[in-house]
């Protein structure tokens, strides 16, 4: 028997643990915080800066006071509780003035109307935002309904009102429960039908916010009915193009010439309606949302048309689009707002006098549409030429090609840009304070800070307003990321 | 053999104007032209009628009338006896100076934040994300107002700086101090910074009623010459390096060329600093920088910096990972990889969004109105408009000026963009 000279290991050795410096938290710290001299310095500087901020802000936040009637009282409470010289946040200002931040100078007994309009807005948006995702759709409608009803109950408790012996808040909650319950049932049983409510929402929202005679919004809706009827009647004989034109002309005649007489007559026969609220009573986040949401909804279609116009083969259309876009992008938004408040009175017919909020919405829409047009033009330019040629080869006409082939792809590419324009627009609604509207930032905060009991307060109101804006804008940008993921078609 | 025969010639029918693609575009354009002209005529007609109803005309002669209001911050001499036209220029220069310093500061902040946000350092990357998201999602107006309110309500009053005899006797220190080597006084009425003062100034000449400071001009000229010589120096060094492979040492030559002549000139002119001193109820001497300027500048730079950081980050992420790997394979350190390989390529992606951020910044300076910073919007579109009541003229003039400003910035940056573009042969 021969001895083997070499040693051959038969079994595998157990893997040893990595050295302590190469595992666990130590490894992570070494790699992520102290990988080089520069990184170590940066880490320490960053930590020190964060520590200083927290050291200043944390006691201030921990010493918050929610129950007080003035800044002086707040300071007294803080001094009594935490000793002389202690600093603390005085959130009592938010507690006392929250309704002004949310609704401005809207009549208190009507707070349920903007609340309802806000809740219904999300119900109307659900089928658009989560198109094709019926489960999310239904859940969102249900959740929004519950939240709206809770908000209404809260408002009716905060501002108890009785009209003719009946608790007005309870009545509003009852109406809201019925309407929202019905909508949730629709969302549950026939989710596609909810889109009809979306189409109807602008009129509903307008009526809830401004109130007045019910015949005004109905008359405006009737104009759209006239459009559809005339289009359907003439389409057979004259074709789609002339039919559309005839419909638009007929609707315009209805809106401009006939509507006011008809609605006036109807109102005198059957005066249905609710209390009217003037535009200058709007304020706070209500105003920001009215301007922001309307302008966002209106500027997207306008931006699409402008982008198409800019890429058109027709020189005149192209020149007009380019002129419009470049002019608006060249001037600051403030000049547009001042145009709305000062110059429109020169450009419109004498003695015509329409609402400042409406004028501001129109000009903000123009402003945003020009930026969105440029974003969409980028999306259109990014589309390969083959897509247009394929659409032509299939025999699609211009609008069919745009609707079925080009726009779905171009819009998908431009989603991040469009959403960041929307975020910019929503932030820019604060500028309306400069033309005398009561936006949450300048308008309302100025009023609050001018009040004798809150003189000298600055961090708390601005942090409150900033947080709400942050929540809105941040959720918009997260939604755009969701949409990008959902619409992603390439498999990389 | 050609099968393609020309299409049979159809006689022209009126319906072809709508249904034949050859003619339809003409029809549409004529209709649009007609509608557009009608719209313009309607606007013009309304304007004329409205002006007539208010008994006004369109007249720009108010620009040559006495303005009668004061402007705190003036880069060209101005008193309330000057004309509205001059007030316009004072405002325009105030707009430009915020825009100029704002662009520089925002670029510095944005590049650092964008690069650091991508760094492997966990703490720094998170802090930068926090900075970018906070500033991007909250309106600029809030930052401007907050900065202004904090400066003017938390800064000490000038009397807090006072040192009285009793305090010296009691050994007490005043409750507020000047900062930065006792030279800058930051009070609730503004910031007083030292003013450069020359013993033997070269005097000044008047160009179009605006005095041009010859000493300043001489310093600028020397700096320009120094930069040109430095450029030649570096060019020579590069040529030598390409010839021999050895780069001559240039850093001390650059320093000498850039700084020594300027320092010598300033010494010859007798430069010293006029330090602000507390006299009476306020600080005297030095330059008083209003809080509206500082607040606007800081807020606008931090806000735009967050957007530029995003543009920088997107530009860096657009460069393929292979470039970094190739640089590492060549043995370059991470810092040099960033500086020599990634950033030059990313720059091409970054410049177009950077241009639009500069434009946005310039247009956003109008928000200074909220804290009564008298820029172009504050003078021409604010006080002048209210005093003369000429809304139409003031607004149109102001829009035209902003439009021209935007076009100048955009075209200037586009020249830069073309110069930086990848030259493909």
Q: Is residue A473 part of a domain?
A: yes
**Taking the domains of chain B in order of start, what are their residue ranges?**
84-194+279-420, 196-274
pLDDT digits (tens, 9 = 90+) for A399-418: 889 889 888 888 888 888 89
Range of the domain at A222: 212-274
Indicate whether A334 and A386 sit together in one domain.
yes
- CA of A168, closest CA in chain B: separation in Å? 37
Indicate whether A206 and A228 sit together in one domain.
no
Whether A492 shows a pLDDT value over 60: the answer reads no
Confidence class for position A164, pLDDT limits 50, 70, 90 = low
The pLDDT value given to residue A105: 86
Q: Is residue A422 part of a domain?
A: yes
Phi–psi pair at B7, nearest 5 degrees: -60, 145
Whether A9 shows a pLDDT value over 80: the answer reads yes
- CA of B80, closest CA in chain A: separation in Å? 25
Indicate whether A291 and A256 sit together in one domain.
no
Report the 3 state secondary structure along chain A: CCCCCCCCCCCCCCCCCCCHHHCHHHHHHHHHCCCCHHHHHHHHHHHHHHHHHHHHHHHHHHCCECCCCCHHHHHHHHHHHHCCCCCCCECHHHHHHHHHHHHCCCCHHHCHHHHHHHHHHHHHHHHHHCCCCHHHHHHHHHHHHHHHHHHHHHHHHHCCCEECCEEHHHHHHHHHHHHHHHHHHHHHHCHHHHHHHHHHHHHHHHHHHHCEECHHHHHHHHHHHHHHHHHHHHHHHHCHHHHHHHHHHHHHHHHHHHHHHHHHHHHHHCCCEECCCCHHHCEHHHHHHHHHHHHHHHHHHHHHHHHHHHCCCCHHHHHHHHHHHHHHHHCCHHHHHHHHHHHHHHHCCCCCCCCHHHHHHHHHHHHHHHHHHHHHHHHHHHCCHHHHHHHHHCCCCHHHHHHHHHHHHHHHHHHHHHHHHHHHHHHHHHHHHHHCCECHHHHHHHHHHHCHHHCCCCHHHHHHHHHHHHHHHHHHHHHHHHHHHHHCCCCC
CB contact under 8 A, B399 and A50: no
Q: Is residue A125 part of a domain?
A: yes
Please tell me the total count of domains within chain A: 3
Cβ contacts of B33 on chain A, cutoff 8 Å: 316
Domain boundary among A225, A252, A274: A274
Indicate whether A186 and A266 sit together in one domain.
no
Indicate whether A206 and A230 sit together in one domain.
no
Whether B264 shows a pLDDT value over 60: the answer reads yes
Indicate whether A354 and A466 sit together in one domain.
yes
The pLDDT value given to residue B157: 78
Please, what is the average pLDDT of chain A?
85
Confidence class for position A472, pLDDT limits 50, 70, 90 = very high
Please, what is the average pLDDT of chain B?
84
Cβ contacts of A470 on chain B, cutoff 8 Å: 134, 137-138
CB contact under 8 A, B50 and A469: no
Cβ contacts of B127 on chain A, cutoff 8 Å: 46, 49-50
pLDDT digits (tens, 9 = 90+) for B310-360: 999 988 888 888 999 999 999 998 888 888 898 888 888 888 888 889 999
The pLDDT value given to residue B101: 94
CATH architecture of B84-194+279-420: Orthogonal Bundle (1.10)
Residues of chain B with pLDDT > 90: what percent?
Answer: 24
Q: Is residue A87 part of a domain?
A: no
Nearest by CB: A330 against B146, B391, B403 = B403
Q: Is residue A37 part of a domain?
A: no
Indicate whether A287 and A405 sit together in one domain.
yes
pLDDT digits (tens, 9 = 90+) for B399-416: 999 999 888 888 887 888
Indicate whether A233 and A373 sit together in one domain.
no
CB contact under 8 A, A316 and B33: yes
The pLDDT value given to residue B85: 87
Whether B298 shows a pLDDT value over 90: the answer reads yes
CB contact under 8 A, A335 and B402: yes
What ipTM was reported for this prediction? 0.86
Whether A51 shows a pLDDT value over 90: the answer reads yes
Q: Is residue A452 part of a domain?
A: yes
The pLDDT value given to residue B41: 93
Q: Is residue A229 part of a domain?
A: yes
pLDDT digits (tens, 9 = 90+) for A10-22: 888 888 888 877 7
Residues of chain B with pLDDT > 70: what percent?
Answer: 95
Nearest by CB: A347 against B47, B123, B370 = B47
Q: Is residue A142 part of a domain?
A: yes
Cβ contacts of A242 on chain B, cutoff 8 Å: 18
Q: What integer is the mean pLDDT of B157-175? A: 74
The pLDDT value given to residue A1: 52
Indicate whether A257 and A286 sit together in one domain.
no
The CATH number covering residue A451 comes to 1.10.3720.10
Lowest mean pLDDT among A40-44, A237-241, B221-225: A237-241
């Amino acid at each position: 028997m021969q001895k083997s000279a070499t040693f051959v290991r038969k079994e595998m050795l157990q893997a040893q643990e990595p050295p302590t410096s190469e595992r666990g938290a130590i490894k992570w710290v070494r790699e992520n915080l102290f990988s080089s001299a520069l990184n170590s310095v940066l880490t320490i500087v960053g930590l020190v800066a964060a520590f200083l901020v927290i050291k200043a802000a944390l006691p201030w936040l921990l010493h918050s006071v929610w129950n007080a009637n003035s800044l002086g009282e707040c300071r007294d409470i803080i001094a009594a509780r935490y000793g002389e010289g202690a600093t603390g946040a005085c959130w009592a200002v938010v507690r006392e003035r929250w309704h002004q931040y949310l609704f401005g100078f809207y009549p208190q007994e009507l707070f349920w109307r903007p609340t309802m309009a806000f809740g219904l807005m999300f119900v109307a948006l659900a089928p658009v935002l989560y198109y094709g995702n019926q489960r999310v759709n239904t859940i969102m409608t249900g959740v929004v309904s519950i939240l709206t009803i809770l908000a209404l109950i809260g408002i009716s408790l905060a501002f108890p009102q009785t009209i003719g012996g009946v608790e007005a808040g309870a009545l509003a909650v009852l109406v809201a429960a019925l309407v929202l319950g019905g909508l949730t049932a629709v969302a549950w049983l026939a989710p596609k039908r909810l889109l009809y409510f979306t189409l109807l929402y602008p009129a509903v929202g307008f009526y809830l916010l401004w109130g007045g005679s019910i015949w005004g919004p109905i008359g405006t809706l009737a104009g759209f009915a006239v459009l559809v009827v005339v289009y359907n009647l003439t389409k057979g004989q004259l074709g789609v193009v002339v039919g559309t034109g005839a419909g638009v002309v007929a609707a315009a005649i209805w809106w401009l010439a006939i509507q006011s007489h008809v609605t006036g007559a109807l109102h005198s026969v059957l005066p249905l309606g609710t209390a009217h609220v003037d535009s200058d009573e709007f304020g706070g986040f209500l105003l920001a949302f009215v301007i922001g949401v309307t302008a966002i909804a209106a500027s997207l279609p306008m931006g699409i048309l402008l982008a198409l116009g800019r890429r058109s083969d027709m020189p005149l259309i192209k020149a007009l689009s380019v002129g419009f876009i470049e002019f608006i992008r060249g001037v600051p938004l403030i000049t547009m707002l001042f145009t709305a408040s000062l110059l429109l009175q020169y450009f419109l017919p004498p003695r015509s006098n329409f609402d400042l909020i409406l004028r501001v919405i129109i000009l903000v829409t123009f402003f945003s549409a020009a930026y969105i047009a440029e974003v969409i033009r980028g999306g259109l330019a990014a589309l390969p030429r083959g897509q247009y040629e394929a659409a032509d080869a299939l025999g699609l006409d211009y609008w069919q090609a745009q609707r079925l082939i080009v726009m779905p792809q171009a819009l998908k590419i431009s989603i991040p840009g469009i959403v960041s324009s929307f975020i910019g627009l929503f932030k820019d609604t604060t500028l309306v304070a400069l033309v005398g509207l009561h936006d949450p930032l300048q308008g309302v905060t100025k009023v609050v800070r001018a009040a004798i009991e809150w003189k000298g307060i600055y961090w708390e109101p601005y942090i409150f307003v900033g947080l709400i804006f942050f929540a809105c804008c941040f959720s918009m940008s997260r939604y755009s990321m969701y949409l990008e993921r959902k619409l992603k078609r390439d498999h990389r | 053999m050609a099968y393609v025969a020309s299409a049979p010639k159809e006689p022209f029918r009126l319906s072809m104007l709508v249904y034949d693609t050859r003619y339809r575009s003409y029809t549409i354009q004529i209709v649009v032209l007609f509608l557009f002209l009608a719209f313009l005529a309607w606007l013009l007609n309304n304007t004329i009628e409205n002006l007539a109803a208010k008994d006004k005309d369109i007249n720009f002669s108010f620009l040559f009338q006495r303005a009668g209001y004061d402007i705190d911050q003036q880069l060209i001499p101005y008193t309330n006896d000057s004309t509205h036209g001059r007030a316009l220029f004072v405002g325009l220069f105030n707009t430009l100076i915020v825009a100029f310093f704002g662009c520089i500061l925002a670029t510095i902040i944005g590049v650092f934040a964008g690069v650091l946000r991508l760094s492997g350092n966990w703490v720094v990357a998170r802090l930068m994300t926090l900075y970018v998201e906070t500033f991007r999602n909250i309106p600029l107006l809030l930052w401007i107002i907050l900065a202004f309110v904090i400066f003017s309500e938390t800064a000490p009053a000038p009397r807090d700086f006072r040192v009285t005899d009793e305090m010296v006797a009691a050994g007490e220190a005043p409750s507020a101090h000047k900062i930065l080597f006792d030279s800058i006084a930051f009070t609730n009425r503004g910031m007083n910074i030292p003013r450069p003062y020359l013993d033997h100034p070269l005097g000044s000449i008047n160009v179009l009623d605006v005095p041009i400071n010859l000493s300043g001009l001489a310093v600028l000229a020397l700096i320009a010459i120094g930069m040109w010589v430095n450029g030649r120096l570096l060019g020579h060094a590069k040529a030598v390096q390409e010839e021999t492979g050895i780069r001559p040492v240039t850093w001390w030559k650059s320093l000498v060329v850039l700084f020594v002549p300027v320092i010598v000139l300033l010494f010859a002119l007798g430069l010293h600093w006029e330090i602000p001193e507390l006299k009476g109820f306020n600080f005297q001497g030095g330059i008083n920088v209003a809080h509206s300027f500082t607040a606007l500048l800081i807020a606008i730079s931090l806000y735009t910096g967050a957007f530029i950081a995003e543009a920088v980050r997107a530009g860096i992420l657009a460069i393929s990972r292979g470039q970094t790997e190739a640089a590492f394979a060549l043995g370059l350190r991470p810092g040099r990889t960033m500086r020599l390989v990634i950033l030059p390529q990313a720059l091409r992606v970054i410049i177009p969004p950077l241009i639009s951020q500069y434009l946005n910044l310039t247009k956003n300076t109008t928000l200074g109105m909220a804290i009564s910073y008298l820029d172009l919007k504050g003078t021409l579109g604010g006080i002048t408009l209210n005093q003369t009541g000429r809304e139409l003229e003031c607004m149109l003039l102001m829009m035209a000026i902003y439009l021209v400003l935007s076009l100048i910035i955009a075209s200037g940056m586009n020249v830069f963009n073309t110069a930086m573009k990848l030259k493909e042969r």
